[in-house]
Amino acid sequence: MSDDCLFCSIVAGDIPAERVLENDLVVAFRDIAPKAATHVLVVPRTHAPDVAALAASAPEQLAAMALAAQEIADAECGGEYKWIFNTGAGAGQTVFHAHGHVLGGDLSGSLV
């Protein structure tokens, strides 16, 4: 855990979030500024600055994130979804704790 990380604080329960799924490896919660009917962030419990760092240090947590993304999509949007990782400030990452955006619903107008 990182003392100054927003998502570490959410994982720890110090900052409230609308959690939709959690287990020993991941926590998933609704995005506060949703870009789709379903917009859930899936984060590992262990701090890593981005998805590549997580894959290198804790691949089992990345696998757990993928399983959680599918479980959320199955429950909320018929199993079909986009799973997006922003890596680096230039790519739009604003919280430097690995996280995937699960987007579902009508995404026909989506750019990605």
Q: Is residue 29 part of a domain?
A: yes
Q: Would you call 99 a catalytic residue per the annotation?
A: yes
| Segments forming the whole domain that contains residue 95 | 6-57+71-104
**What region, left, alpha or beta, does residue 98 occupy, with left being phi > 0 and alpha being psi -120 to 50 degrees?**
beta
Our count of domains for the chain comes to 1
Q: Are 31 and 14 in contact (CB under 8 A)?
A: no
What pLDDT digit, counting tens, does each position of 29-56 carry? 999 999 999 999 999 999 999 999 999 9
Which one from 39, 47, 97, 99 is the annotated catalytic residue? 99
CA atoms of 19 and 10, how far apart (whole Å): 9
Going residue by residue through the chain (112 aa), what tens digit of pLDDT does each one get? 777 999 999 999 999 999 999 999 999 999 999 999 999 999 999 999 999 999 999 999 999 999 999 999 999 999 999 999 999 999 999 999 999 999 998 877 665 5
The CATH number of whichever domain residue 43 belongs to comes to 3.30.428.10
Model pLDDT, residue 37: 94
